[in-house]
Structure 1
Amino acid sequence: MKTTPVTRRDFLAVSSLALGAGAMMQGSAMGANDRINIGMIGTGERAGSHIGDLGKLQESHNVRITAVCDVWRPNREAAAERVKKLFGKKPFETSRFGEVLARSDVDAVVISTPDFGHTPIMIEALKAGKDVYVEKPMSLTIEEANEALDLARKNERVVQAGTQRRSEGCWKAARAFIASGKLGQVTRISAANNVNEPRWARKFDDCREEDVDWDAYLFNRPKVAFDPKLLRRWHLYKMCTNGISGLWMSHLVDAAANLMNASYPNSAVALGGLYMWKDGREHTDVFHALLDYPEGFLFDWCMGLTNSAGNHYTVHGRNGTLEPEKLAYSGDGGAGDQKLGEGKLDPMPNEDHVANWVDCMRSRKRPNADIEFGHQHAVATIMAANALESGQRMRYDREKRVMYPG
């Protein structure tokens, strides 16, 4: 594949980003009666869910979608039509995210692009004074994650990462149970997510070059010839994502950090391979990672796209085993006079993850999945992805905020 490197000038040109210094901040806390206007950047499947969520909140939270951006015209037009039906007014439409960020009728943006766009677009949004909801993984590079975190704090922006388990009641209940000490010292968390169907195999024969703003799609990627698979099946390619680690492990490793009140792993190792799906993919179809945390536990996670058995999420303590998603605990594996019997956790209520973001835009409080936690899951998934690619154990220096082999 012949590629042409992208420059910063190219990046700004294709994003149509022409923002003055005065656009750095746009006020502080919003009043209860102030409408919050939101722009959607990326209007695929995940964005469709967010549009529906915001539609449900339009009266209770006084929100409106005022702009939609997507490089593929059918996606963009379908999203705009849905927004019109939900909110009663047609939104501004564009294929260039910079045009959304430059609008005065956009207070915040939801970024639901392919993975490679998440943090670069978020950085520009933060520079433009917008609040942000960004899908996971928050970043594919630690350098960009650092820049985004620093900008969010400097500009006092509200950023919610799309790791919604932090708003779900079962994980809150599990965290409280672990903190109570009843499980005993926790030294291992084990998880697996397995499927056996080509859920990524989106049709692409209807994706025509004349309907795609290809330069806008590749805004920060090497320049390559139009290929509909890079748009419709971007999950398979290294120029678009770091693979299973970012696509899936981001949720599960974030849950582990939340349960244990942990932050960054000390080190990560990973193995995987392309064993079954010979469909042109560049990423593995089986992946297994181990991450060591300084809080005193090992997190192991695997995913296979070749067999759907073995799904679980278990927390192993001296006194037994906890299954957060089942709100269940037992003495399985436990020992000593504090060994648990079988029992159920008292459920805690779920929170609407998008509503939590909107609420925090008014209060200026940090949301459930604040950018700090997004930074943490990004570092963990980047370490695992790089361990797989390099064949080396990757370490993280918290003071310098850098990853290195060793």
Structure 2
Amino acid sequence: MEDHLNRRRFVGKTVGGVVVSAASYRRILGANDRIRVANIGCGGRGLLKEALEVRERTNVDIVAICDTWRPRREEAVAAVRDAGGQPPKDYVHYQDVLALKDVDAVIIGTPDHQHCTQLAAAAQAGKDAYVEKPLAMTMEELQKAVEAVKRNNRVVQIGTQVRSWPAPAAAAAFIKSGGLGKILKIEQSRNGYRPYWHGTGNREVKEADVDWNAFLMHAKYRPFDPDQYAAWYGYREFSRGPQTNLMVHFIDLVHYFTGAPYPLRGVGFAGTYRWKDKRTAPDSVEIVLEYPEQGFLTRYSTVFGNSGNSFMKVIGTRGILDITNWRGEIKLIGEGSGEPDKLDPGTTVPPVQPEHHMADFFNCIRTRKSPLAPLDAGWGHSIATLMADLSIQTGKRMIYDPAKKEIREG
């Protein structure tokens, strides 16, 4: 009971828990100054690896590592050292990292339920942040995090790195140029044989190596469970499921392609039909979102149990753009269009090579320009995923009211 109470007191300080003024930690970076970065959450997403890949050309030092699991911390410190950097300091608690005066920015790669709390605290501490998706799991925490970032004028890059891949970047340029005509519908089916969380629970996790209370953060206390720790993707308290995880990349591309900021209406269905175990995230989802102001619909689905029939298509009045292979060739189809300017069979999309997503973040720290996936992109994808998940939970259609910044039944 005492540990539980200590955890509650500790967590109660998290959003405002860095008891120093943000302004005192801000530093003006010159062209030759090295950016000092800390990695909070060193899990399997590989964000530290991405940072190390561009470290030299972006003039970055990884000065601190933070993770609630000892083996992860040790592996991350070794990775920085092996990449030619000085061994970074390592920490268990993110608050200790944010209190460091020699940290300019943080990379947040923690479990989903921690993102907003840590982003808000980082902003209050005067740190710029790269934050993994999804940005938020509730509307309340989303609003607090966004307000903190804007109040402290921080640079934030959302970890929707698919924007920075050649095929989506080329598709965005083609669609924005009017190449598909008016957009009518965008749909994706993203399937797999097993849920992605099955691959994350295969490492032995010992309680002695974990700060369990720090992992839980504001989640309801329960005794240590190595599966909930290692395979947290599969539990609704830590990650809702495909509708707030895999779907983020899809809906973020919808907004990137069309310029639409967020949907206004949405409905979702989900269930566990194939992989029935103690985990609580669904293995099948179907989501429809409406963008009435722009005049198009989106449909997203995931099924775990069969990896076939995965695709992504953008349907316009001039034809269809097939971007199923996000890293490869874009296919254009004019069939089905009755427009006089429908796509010719030989129409191609010229390749585009954007800046590396992590490098773009580091560059924007220095220039103070908006990165490719800015905070508003995180707001937009969060509105979509929150509407979808609330619809799944209530069985009701959800609407978003931009004036009141609230999601409700309707």
1:102 partner amino acid: A
Amino acid in the other structure paired with 1:363: T
User: Which residue is 1:346 aligned to?
Assistant: 350
Show the counterpart of 2:194: 197
Work out which of the residue numbers 379, 382, 406 in structure 1 matches 2:383. 379
The equivalent residue for 2:224 is 226
Report the equivalent of 1:301.
Answer: 300
Alignment of 1:178-217 (within 5 A): 178-201=175-198, 202-203=200-201, 206-217=204-215
Q: Contact 1:159–1:370 at 8 Å: present in 2 too?
A: yes
Report the 3-state secondary structure (helix = DSSP H, G, I; strand = E; otherwise coil) of the residue aligned with 1:67: strand
Q: Which runs of 5+ in 1 are unaligned?
A: none
User: Distance between the aligned counterparts of 1:92 and 1:17, measured in 2?
Assistant: 23
The change in CA–CA distance for 1:205 and 1:8 in structure 2 (over 3 A counts) is: closer
* Aligned equivalent of 1:9: 9
Q: Is the 8 A contact 2:15 2:118 kept in 1?
A: no
Cα distance, 1:239 vs. partner? Answer: 1.1
Q: Which residue pairs with 1:332 in the alignment?
A: 335
Among 157, 161, 168, the alignment partner of 2:165 is 168
SS for the counterpart of 1:194 is coil
Q: Give the whole-Å Cα distance in 2 for the aligned partners of 1:76 and 1:166.
A: 29
Identical columns (%): 36
- 1:205 deviates by 6.5
Residue number among 73, 78, 86 corresponding to 1:89 in the alignment? 86
Could you list the runs of 5+ residues in structure 2 that have no partner in the other structure?
A: none
CA deviations on 1:284-331 (whole Å, 9 max, x unpaired) are 111010000121110101011111111111111112111244322111
**Structure 1 partner of 2:22:** 23
8 Å CA contact 1:130, 1:157 repeated in 2: yes
In structure 2, what residue type is equivalent to 1:173? A
Q: Cα–Cα, structure 1 residues 26 and 315, in superposed 2: closer, same or farther, change >3 Å?
A: same
State how 1:240-279 maps to structure 2 within 5 Å. 240-279=238-277
CA contact (8 A) 1:16 1:99 kept: no
1:171-214 Cα deviation digits (max 9, x unpaired):
23222222332322111001111111354223456211111111
Of the structure 1 ranges 237-246 and 80-89, higher mean CA displacement relative to structure 2 is found in: 80-89
Q: Structure 2: how far apart are the matches of 1:18 and 1:389?
A: 32
Deviation at 1:126, TM superposition (A): 0.6
Q: Deviations over 1:264-290 (max 9, x none)?
A: 101110112110101212121110100
Q: Is the 8 A contact 1:190 1:299 kept in 2?
A: yes
Match of 2:401 in 1: 397
Contact 1:6-1:222 within 8 A present in 2 as well: no
Change (3 A) 1:115 1:18: closer
Matched residue, 1:58: 55
**Rounded Cα–Cα distance in structure 1 between residues aligned with 2:239 and 2:289:** 20
- Point out the more displaced range, 197-206 or 91-100: 197-206
Letter in 2 for 1:9: R
Does 2:367 match 1:367? Answer: no
Measure, in 2, the Cα distance between the counterparts of 1:122 and 1:247: 18
**Residues 193-243 of structure 1: CA deviation (Å, up to 9, x unaligned):** 111135422345621111111111112111111001111010111110121
167-176 or 182-191, which deviates more: 167-176
The DSSP-based 3-state class of the residue aligned with 2:169 is helix
Say which SS state the counterpart of residue 369 (structure 1) adopts.
Answer: coil
What CA distance in whole angstroms lies between the structure 1 residues aligned with 2:286 and 2:86?
47
| One-letter amino acid of the structure 1 residue matched with residue 363 of structure 2 | D
Q: TM-score, normalised by structure 2?
A: 0.93
Distance in 2 between residues matched to 1:17 and 1:214, nearest whole Å? 21
- 1:331-368 Cα deviation digits (max 9, x unpaired): 13211322222222011113200000000000001100
Report what 1:135 is aligned to: 132
Give yes or no for the alignment of 1:77 onto 2:74: yes
Equivalent residue for 1:238? 236
CA contact (8 A) 1:253 1:377 kept: yes
> Is the alpha carbon distance of 1:8 and 1:271 closer, same or farther for their aligned partners in structure 2, counting shifts above 3 Å?
same
